[in-house]
Amino acid sequence: MQELLQKIVEKNKELTNLGAVANYIPELDKANKNALGICVMDMEGNQFCYGECGTRFTIQSISKIISLMLAILDNGEEYVFSKVGMEPSGDPFNSIRKLETSSRKKPYNPLINAGAIAVASMIKGKNVRERFQRLLDFTRKITEDETVDVNYKIYCGESETGDRNRAMGYFLKGEGIIEGNVEEALDIYFKQCSMEVTVYTIAKLGLFLANDGVLSNGERVISTRLSRIVKTLMVTCGMYDESGEFAVRVGMPSKSGVGGGIVSVVPKKMGIGVYGPSLDKKGNSIAGAGVLEDLAKELDLSIF
């Protein structure tokens, strides 16, 4: 496995030159464009890593699957999906247009920004501090990584440049999708995107879902049903308006973030984390996707 990872990472490194590091948030553009790393963890406890594995990067949109799990634990599936749909939007992750033009008047799914802001508004706690802390604690628990924490420089950048997200938040409040305080929902959203992780952290997250919501110590944290909901949405919406093509090329439930991370799940087998901050036009790690495609081919990991 180690040799295979080396071969695949080295082969895909040249792809990093074809993309670009996200620069719409100050600080994100400081990442090394040519960085590329992978971590694979299996259900037997084996762990294999190659390349840029120790580097910390912000989890960004990968956090949307974590907040979805906590929001469903807090409010139940029926409530959450009464406010947010389950359909791919076919639009970029930060798109606003369908919020008003479609008849449903609710975000298409929880993994686009509008849906994730609505989901953030549903996380319970007595004040905004406690609400985010619960999300951070939950993230640390299911990734089995106590070192996960917020990068405050990135958080400030998210907040300073987050006017599109604010616009969506206030629209959702006006439509009754967000019931509580909009600024609090946005603050939770900006902070959750700014949590720093490594490929180990997100591989563990993938393994947690591969194991249907059970930690490596055997503790069940979410139901099999909730784990299935999350994995299904990862397939249909996890790579934004590239989800269909990615499902054909790779075939593993996956979620990307503009920090350059992608988490992938091989149900009942493996969790995989990749990092490559050079992104394609849709905001997905260009070389990370290449690595996952090659690995899926070599090991026949597609679920389809």
**Is residue 257 within the footprint of ligand DON (CB under 6 A)?**
yes
**Is residue 283 within the footprint of ligand DON (CB under 6 A)?**
yes
* Catalytic member of 13, 64, 106, 231: 64
Query: Nearer to ligand DON by C-beta: 213 or 260?
Result: 260
Give start and end residues of each alpha helix (H) in 144-278. Answer: 152-160, 163-174, 182-193, 199-210, 224-237, 243-249
Is 158 flagged in the annotation as binding?
Answer: yes
Residue 155, SS3 per DSSP:
helix
Determine whether 163 is exposed, middle or buried from the number of CB atoms within 10 Å of its CB (0-12, 13-18, 19+): exposed
* Catalytic member of 13, 21, 50, 61: 61
Nearest distance, CB of residue 215 and ligand DON, angstroms: 25
**Is residue 205 within the footprint of ligand DON (CB under 6 A)?**
no
Say how many C-beta atoms besides its own lie within 10 A of residue 146's C-beta: 9
Whether 235 is catalytic is no
Q: Which of 61, 192, 264, 278 contacts ligand DON by CB under 6 A?
A: 61
Residue with tokens 């604690």: 137
Is 165 flagged in the annotation as binding?
Answer: yes
CA atoms of 229 and 270, how far apart (whole Å): 18
With CA atoms as reference, report the closest residue to 15 among 296, 260, 303, 264.
Answer: 260
Structure tokens at 266: 């091989």
Whether 64 is catalytic is yes
Structure tokens at 54: 């120790």
Nearest distance, CB of residue 304 and ligand DON, angstroms: 23
With CA atoms as reference, report the closest residue to 72 among 58, 86, 52.
Answer: 86
Query: Nearer to ligand DON by C-beta: 283 or 290?
Result: 283
Residue 216, SS3 per DSSP:
coil
Whether 155 is catalytic is no
Contact between residue 227 and residue 62 where contact means Cβ atoms under 8 Å apart: no
**Is residue 60 within the footprint of ligand DON (CB under 6 A)?**
yes
Is 189 flagged in the annotation as binding?
Answer: yes
**What is the contact mask toward ligand DON in residues 161 to 200, using x (rule: CB under 6 A)?**
----x---------------------------x-------
For 30, 131, 241, 242, 291, the CA distances from 94, given in Å and listed in that order, are 22, 24, 11, 14, 26
* Catalytic member of 155, 189, 200, 275: 189
Q: Find the part of the chain contacting ligand DON (CB under 6 A) among 12-20, 47-55, 101-109, 251-259.
A: 251-259
Binders in 93-152 for ligand DON, by CB under 6 A: 93-94, 113
Is 181 flagged in the annotation as binding?
Answer: no
**Residue 211 backbone dihedrals phi, psi, to 5 degrees:** -90, 20
**Is residue 227 within the footprint of ligand DON (CB under 6 A)?**
no
Residues contacting ligand DON: total by CB under 6 A: 12
Nearest distance, CB of residue 158 and ligand DON, angstroms: 5
Active site (catalytic) residues: 61, 64, 189, 240, 258
Would you tell me which residues interact with ligand DON (CB under 6 A)? Answer: 60-61, 93-94, 113, 158, 165, 193, 256-258, 283
